[in-house]
Amino acid sequence: MTRTAFAFLLSSMTLFGFSAAAHEDHCAAVAASVADAGFDESVVVSCTDTHATITSDTYPDHELMTGIVGTNEQVPVPAEYAAPIILGPVLGDTPLTRDAALGVAVNGVPIYDYTAGGEMSEADLARHQAQHDTWQTQQLDACGGHAGRGDDYHYHVKPTCMIETMENAGDDAIIGWAFDGFPIYGDNNPDGTAIADGALDVCNGQPDSIFGYRYHTSEDAPYIVQCLMGEVRDFDSLPRVRPLSAADGGGVESGRPPKGGVENLIFTQNDDGSRSMDYRYEGGEYYIRYAPSGRPNCYDFTTKTVTNEGQVTEGEFCR
């Protein structure tokens, strides 16, 4: 669906409110963005009177993890995720930040800000946090993502590999939705023109003639959405991926990035559902290997990590 079609669908939209029909049209726009990109077989879009929900397992169909240097020794494990997109977005006057996803890509993968240093303050938004920049510190794979503390895959910068697989790839294609209800586009304006210097605000967004406002990716920091400019009444209840837990009870300790990074990190996926992340550190061989255990949302792990001082451990872990 083109932006012209979106404009027709959303003709009753105003910046401060929506009619019931416009809510339905905004829902249709969200569904179309997923279907037109070719992800409607793996991603489900459903709507209520207030939200469109994009549901997925957060596990994309493109290469993952390979090439990361600043690994946190976490791996991507599928996770049921329901991302709520407000129907009837309203611009606010206070940027909203959180140490979790700010939106979701059209393939169902969560989108975070570019940092890995916790929730950003208003002062943090105004300056580049080089020490927490996940791209510059080589924490991301070539596709713009990695696995976080919950062993969940998500993007921190432009999702390049996803965009390459989109059936409607182009400047006018919506690549994701922020939780405040506004769309996310690529590096250029939807008409293909370059974005003028200084046009993007602190959240990496600008006014939009159809949706009222839109976010963009960018070559330079902050690379992608770094805060939400729209109002979100249920901001504190936005979804987080549930971390893995040991099948016999207890949590899982987060990995600690090995000082100086690792070498030759390769992530392998097999047809039987087993996966392996192998890498070298200071001359030693390390790995995290896991496969479905046979119980729903559970995996058998065998690991030898720097975090665990090279000890080989085994266990079943579940969502």
Domain count of the fold of the chain: 2
Global pTM exceeds 0.85: yes
| Whether residues 145 and 252 fall in one domain | no
| Whether residues 222 and 261 fall in one domain | no
What is d(CA 103, CA 28) in angstroms, rounded to the nearest whole number? Answer: 18
Give the pLDDT mean for 204-228.
Answer: 97
Peptide bond into 222 cis (omega under 30): yes
Domain boundary (202, 220, 237) is at 237
| Whether residues 143 and 252 fall in one domain | no
DSSP E strand boundaries for the chain: 44-47, 51-56, 81-86, 91-96, 103-105, 110-111, 145-147, 153-155, 176-178, 183-185, 205-208, 212-216, 228-230, 245-246, 263-269, 275-281, 284-292, 298-304, 312-318
| Whether residues 224 and 289 fall in one domain | no
| Whether residues 169 and 312 fall in one domain | no
User: Which two structure tokens, joined as six digits, stand for 176?
Assistant: 């994701």
Predicted confidence at residue 19, as pLDDT, reads 58
- Contact between residue 233 and residue 204 where contact means Cβ atoms under 8 Å apart: no
| Whether residues 57 and 98 fall in one domain | yes
Of the chain, the percentage scoring pLDDT greater than 90 comes to 86
Predicted confidence at residue 16, as pLDDT, reads 41
Q: What is the pLDDT of residues 231-267, one digit of tens each?
A: 999 999 999 998 999 998 876 777 888 999 999 999 9
| Domain hosting residue 52, numbered range | 3-237
Predicted confidence at residue 248, as pLDDT, reads 84
Domain boundary (177, 205, 237) is at 237
What is d(CA 126, CA 122) in angstroms, rounded to the nearest whole number? Answer: 7
| Whether residues 178 and 258 fall in one domain | no
Q: Are strands 205-208 and 183-185 parallel, antiparallel or unpaired?
A: unpaired
Amino acid identity, residue 75? V
CA distances from 45 to 136, 154, 166, 172, 177 (A): 34, 19, 17, 20, 12
Strand, helix or coil at 292? Answer: strand
What is d(CA 169, CA 90) in angstroms, rounded to the nearest whole number? Answer: 28
Q: What is the pLDDT of residues 136-194, one digit of tens each?
A: 999 999 999 999 988 999 999 999 999 999 999 999 999 999 999 999 999 999 999 99
| Whether residues 175 and 263 fall in one domain | no
Residue 183, C-beta contacts closer than 8 angstroms, at least 6 positions apart: 29, 33, 174, 176, 177, 208, 211, 214, 215
Give the pLDDT mean for 122-128.
Answer: 94
| Whether residues 147 and 37 fall in one domain | yes
Domain boundary (220, 237, 254) is at 237
DSSP 114: S
| Whether residues 12 and 87 fall in one domain | yes
| Whether residues 264 and 221 fall in one domain | no
| Whether residues 268 and 147 fall in one domain | no
DSSP 135: T
Question: Does position 18 have pLDDT exceeding 90, yes or no?
Answer: no
